[in-house]
Amino acid sequence: MLAERYILVNTVRPMFQALLFGMGVLLAVRLSLSLELGLNQKGVLLTLIRTLGYWLPFYFGLTIPVALFTGLILGFEKMGKANEVASMQASGMGPFSFLKPVLLLTLLITIVATLIYGWVDPLATYARRVFNNGIEKKIIFSVIEENTFYKFGDTTVLIEILDRPVDSFQRIFIHRRLGDNSMETITSTAGKLVQSDDNGRPVLILKNAEKLFVKHLAQDKGSDTSNEAQTSSSKVFSIPLGPEQKPFRKRGYDSKEWTLPELFAASYTKKAKISFQKIKAELHFRLAEIVFVSSLPFLALSFSNLLFQRRTIYRTGMGIIFMICCYQLLLGASILAASSKISPILLFWPAMILYMFLVMLRSYLVFSKPDKGH
């Protein structure tokens, strides 16, 4: 038990290090893209944190295969170079004894991968899209600058002094075209820019507003057009900017937003809001992805130098290349299955069965005859 626990600790540590490194790189790239939202927005730090949080499940699921395989193979490599395996075998520990911690690790990783691929990532994907839609509605808060004309539909706005931290302003000019050949000009000494809770579009709240309403009156044929002007004032006046924003669509119009039970139910009833082919393709891709992740500890152990007396870097490199190629083929099969009429069963499972057979065959050969250097 002590030796098995030691193997488990020495393989899990580099696996987590590789996972953290991969997640750090992906989140750093996402952070640089999220900064395009504008550092001068109110609450930008909270916005960045929420943005990265919504991407965490997707990046975690994307990093699991590479980080798991790389971390395990590095951990096995370290134990092999330190001759710790030879010491364990000298104490009576056979090659198949190394399978116990690997099986335990495989079980834990498969459970985590199933939760990520089956529930967490689909729900986080929809939540991320809802959040991004809200960010797009608020983008007006960051584009408005002082002493610059901005046009929103039939409304033109000019703000002289803007206090961005609180979204307030001083001295504003607004010109907008109305129906019935009329237009309206509004000036105000102060106001505030807020987000409407009803329709999601920004609203200007004006104080001490002065309004000039001009209506074109059509005359008889051959005569000039006359105008009718009216002036008024208001202590508080509100004016919306841009078109009315509709609520974001409901979840379920993209197969990536469906959980595993929902995909199973849709495959059984054949009732879905989207193409049934996409439902089947996503379901079989998720299942194949879980099977692929569960095979990685065995693949890493069979390609590592842990049980070989003749160690070489080429064996480790071949294992990494083989793993990356298999995962890329899996991704390619998911795209082909969703965009064609070929059955996902034919695209995924014959190749997955062959892949699992080769992995288990190599693992058996390595464990039964490690000195052969398979």
Digit-coded pLDDT (tens) for 27-49? 988 888 777 655 445 567 787 88
pLDDT at 110 over 80: yes
* Lowest-confidence pick of 232-246, 305-319, 326-340: 305-319
Q: Which residues does residue 170 pair with via DSSP β-bridges, in sequence order?
A: 161, 190
Burial of 350 (0-12, 13-18, 19+ CB in 10 A): exposed
* Lowest-confidence pick of 45-54, 83-92, 256-265: 83-92
pLDDT at 56 over 80: yes
Q: What is the β-pairing status of strands 168-178 and 155-163?
A: antiparallel
pLDDT at 366 over 60: yes
Q: Are the C-beta atoms of residues 136 and 332 closer than 8 Å to each other? A: no
Q: Where are the alpha helices (DSSP H) in the chain?
A: 2-34, 44-81, 84-90, 99-115, 121-137, 140-143, 260-269, 276-303, 313-339, 344-368
pLDDT category, 289, cuts 50, 70, 90? very high
Structure tokens, 327: 């995962």
Average pLDDT value for residue range 313-341: 85
